[in-house]
A and B are shown apart, each in its own frame.
Chain A
Amino acid sequence: MVDSVSPPKINGELSAMVQRALANRAHLARAATLRDSMLLMVLAGVWAFFYFATDGTFLTQRNLLLLALQTSIVSLAAISAVMLIVTRNFDLSVGSAVAFVGVILALLTVKYDVNPWISVIAAVSGGVAMGVWQGLWVARIGVSSFIVTLAGMLYFRGLSMIATNGATVAPLPDALTDLATGFLSPALSISLIVVFLGGYLALRISELNRARSLGLAPQFGADLFSATLPAAVATVVGIWIVSRQGIPYLVLLVAICATAAELLMRRTRYGARLYAIGGNPEAARLSGINVKQAIFWNFVIAGFGYGITGVALTARVSGAIGGTAGLFLELDAIAAAIIGGTSLSGGRGRVIGALLGALLMGSLNNGMSLMNVPTFYQNTARGVVLLLAVAIDHIGRARRFGR
């Protein structure tokens, strides 16, 4: 009699049976691809429209860089919004928290003449502390994140006003302002993009290699091609855009944060935990996942996001305006995440989608401004786009599940 079941062993060499079974699964593709490509198509349609409506101004290198810059703050906030919504949590406090971080940075540098870099570290630490604070209320005490962050939205804004007495604190030292408004030289930018593409491809190839060594990817060439093509297209477009002015440092920051977040969400155990918690908290708990701890760190990461976003925003406008900095940022971030396919009921959502969502909203703003459409109309259009995006997602998903 066998003592107990020995789990199947896989050491590089997999049984021929597994290989055969997996060889029949032609697709390494994900179900989400369709949705992502739909978002891309909508984006392409919007861009084409603005291209003709602005006599080509919209699709110039100059304007696309401006668009990327305009989108950067919302993109930063959208990254942590995705991570929280995936676990069925909300963050309504982003805008106020970002303003408060800005106030810390501005007061330290302008009023107390602290070294700019030490001030940045202090400001980011302040953001992390806010994340820890909110995480404790949600994970330890069990108050719903909606309430905790709604309260945060109010008192972080209030504290920003109290600390500055409602006045603008400006201007920031040039070192910081330059960073937010500066560009990497075109040559360096292009090489960086190429290195980034190289890194991405190396990662894909290493994963495909690994899959092949385990007998999982018989059509190596096809898989590599489908992974490479979009990246190559994006690289070419990217190189064209930056070839004149280079990459703005701020956009570089977004790219770094998004890559880190994407890796964390898609390629670490912690990320898998977040998706599981959002998808089915009970299943997650029964699998031995420490749900409270994961949620707590979720907020700490969001706090780090406040820090980064706050510093970036404050440096960009070269000063802290306690009352209005980051106003409605939380709503823009949530909207971007949702347009990008993040499900409000949890368990679904990707950082890359949220960036596209932010880009779509940013494109509408930018394009309509170029067309001299009044602000009121801009808001209306953004609202309609948000509604349509979510409705299309809902209908598409309902059809896929046969309902």
Chain B
Amino acid sequence: MTGDVAPAGSAQDADRPFSKWAMVAGHLTKSFPGVRALDDVSVSIYAGEIAALLGQNGAGKSTLIQVMSGFHPAGSYSGRIELGGNDYRPADTAAAEQAGVVLVPQEVSVVSQMSVAENICLNAEPTRWGFVDVSLRLAKAQAALLDFELDVDPHREMGSLDLATQQLIVIARALSKNLKLLILDEPTAALTERESLRLFDRIRTLRARGVASIFVSHRLSEVFSISDRIIVMRDGHIRGDHVTNEVSRADVVAEMLGHARVETQSRPARRAGDAALEVRRLTVFDESAEHRVKVDGLSLAVAKGEVVGLYGLLGSGCVEAALAIYGAWRGVVDAEIAVLGDPVSVAGPPQAIALGLGLMAQDRRDCLIQDQSILDNMMMATIAKGIGLQSLDIAERRRLAISLMKTLRIKAESVDAEMRTLSGGNQQKVQIGRWLAAGAQILILVDPTRGVDVGARGEINRIWSRLSENGHAILIASSDAEELVDVCHRVIVMRNGRKVGELSGATLNEKELLRMAADG
């Protein structure tokens, strides 16, 4: 499809509910160093249509919506976009909003110290005699809220409202500005089921006004229940473009995955011993809103020598569960935890480390000090022990670091090399080394191969196998199905904070994982 094929006004077809293009994008290509994020992508959205954009991480969804919303300015990509029949070349997000295209990012961006009214009119305050017309601002905000049927007091401070309401207010704000295309990036990731329903209820009302919406989602059930069209992306290409009620879930999942993956041979045989870590009825509350439950009554056990996966999509609660077990979650946590059969209480990372636990967090930047050496980073968990007055055994530290560097095959000049000079894969290995140096027997890993290239990924996965053979217990929380299928003995699947199933042996495959995690 080319950019100028929009059959403007020509479609009199009564069968089709949509007849007018909101946006027509043709031959979009956008490259970043080393990767072609969008490769000749053509896509069109009808006015009044709700399109779901699906794809795995790295499929190009984010880049596509960022191009559409002016985040990547016109000129930084090739191809052309028409909006309502006119050439659309936004220089930035503000210009895009001016033209009627608004992106609501995954992390809702509001000024929480300001009132709802101030947020709605931000940088578009009505003025009178050069001064802000406070009363008119209030009236405009109230009108925008009513227009979207939101019962919110415009005086209220934004920060005192829950996330879903904040999100709805951001949409109401966009609506008050001549909206043509609304783009929602994983709008339900941070929401509870009830809140999601409210959000979608509102989005449906936009359809009647001729506003087109594109939303990115991983949850197949909501995709099928709300969208008119499903667009599937993979590797920078559009792999499927279907009217929603003409396609099956299985087909969509197949298009997302691309190929039926062959059962991997590399999966280690299960050699589980005694239980190393047992968690019963783990409940994790949001750190700022205590009524919001992130993990609801999760129970799991990891035996010595076992690798257990905890799989769930963004917002499923598996990351929160991993942090909570390690005692690093900032909100309220309620659980019974036993280590090697003994009931323990993990009040925080110091206790966790003393009990032989170790954590690799989702973001390497949270765990590693980039300006310090491999040696310093590896020894960080050992210096956490005790009251801190023991003298450092410099020679022993160095010997241990060098030997770990060899065992883990970390590629660097020496243990004194700065962290920043290492590749992602090698940085992750330093983290592994840290916990081996601290003598951790139970490793909790969150997305351990995120941002690690394929070669290093295989190498790191082999390290897990080796460690489990040596009796380590390993729990991997990840949203990467492929990785878990490769290395885990069994995988627990989470959705909306709850355990929804467990897969092991022959039933453990990517397709089944994705189906369980996404099905609502």
Chain A residues with a Cβ under 8 A of chain B:
1-8, 10, 14-15, 17-18, 21-22, 25, 27-28, 30-31, 207, 210-211, 214-217, 263, 266-269, 271-273, 275-276, 278-280, 282-284, 286-289, 343, 347-348, 400-403
CA distance A8 to B177 in the complex (A): 9
CB-CB < 8 A to B135: which residues of A?
207, 210-211, 214, 216-217
CB-CB < 8 A to B177: which residues of A?
7
B127 sits at the interface (CB 8 A): yes
Q: Is the CB of B179 within 8 A of A267?
A: no
CB-CB < 8 A to A289: which residues of B?
122-123
Within 8 A of A (CB), among B92-145: 92-94, 97, 100, 105, 109-114, 118, 122-123, 125, 127-128, 130-136, 138-140, 142-145
What are 19 A-B residue pairs whose CB atoms fall within 8 Å in the complex? A1-B47, A1-B210, A5-B209, A7-B178, A10-B136, A21-B145, A25-B155, A27-B155, A210-B128, A211-B135, A211-B138, A263-B131, A268-B127, A268-B131, A272-B118, A276-B114, A282-B109, A284-B111, A286-B109
Q: Is the CB of B93 within 8 A of A288?
A: yes
CA distance A343 to B159 in the complex (A): 15
Produce 1/0 per residue, B270-293, CB < 8 A to A: 000000000000000000111000
CB-CB < 8 A to A17: which residues of B?
146
**What's the tally of chain B residues with a CB closer than 8 Å to chain A?**
58
CA distance A284 to B109 in the complex (A): 9
Q: Is the CB of B142 within 8 A of A273?
A: no
Q: Is the CB of B211 within 8 A of A4?
A: yes
CA distance A259 to B289 in the complex (A): 38
Within the complex, the shortest CB–CB distance from B51 to chain A, in Å, comes to 17
Within the complex, the shortest CB–CB distance from A350 to chain B, in Å, comes to 12
CA distance A4 to B140 in the complex (A): 19
Q: Is the CB of A7 within 8 A of B176?
A: yes
Specify which of A2, A279, A400 is in contact with B111 (CB 8 Å cutoff). Answer: A279
Per DSSP, are chain B's interface residues mostly helix, strand or loop, or mixed? Answer: loop
Q: Is the CB of A287 within 8 A of B144?
A: no
Closest to B287 in A: A403
Within the complex, the shortest CB–CB distance from A109 to chain B, in Å, comes to 36
Within the complex, the shortest CB–CB distance from B113 to chain A, in Å, comes to 4
Q: Is the CB of B122 within 8 A of A283?
A: yes
Closest to A282 in B: B109
CB-CB < 8 A to A217: which residues of B?
135
CA distance A83 to B254 in the complex (A): 56
Q: Is the CB of B133 within 8 A of A210?
A: yes
Q: Is the CB of B111 within 8 A of A5?
A: no
Q: Is the CB of A2 within 8 A of B210?
A: yes
CB-CB < 8 A to B179: which residues of A?
4-5
Q: Is the CB of B93 within 8 A of A214?
A: no
* Contacts beyond the supplied A28-B155, A267-B132: 7 A-B pairs with Cβ under 8 Å: A7-B176, A10-B140, A17-B146, A22-B138, A27-B155, A207-B135, A268-B132
Closest to A211 in B: B135
B175 sits at the interface (CB 8 A): yes
Q: Is the CB of B146 within 8 A of A18?
A: yes
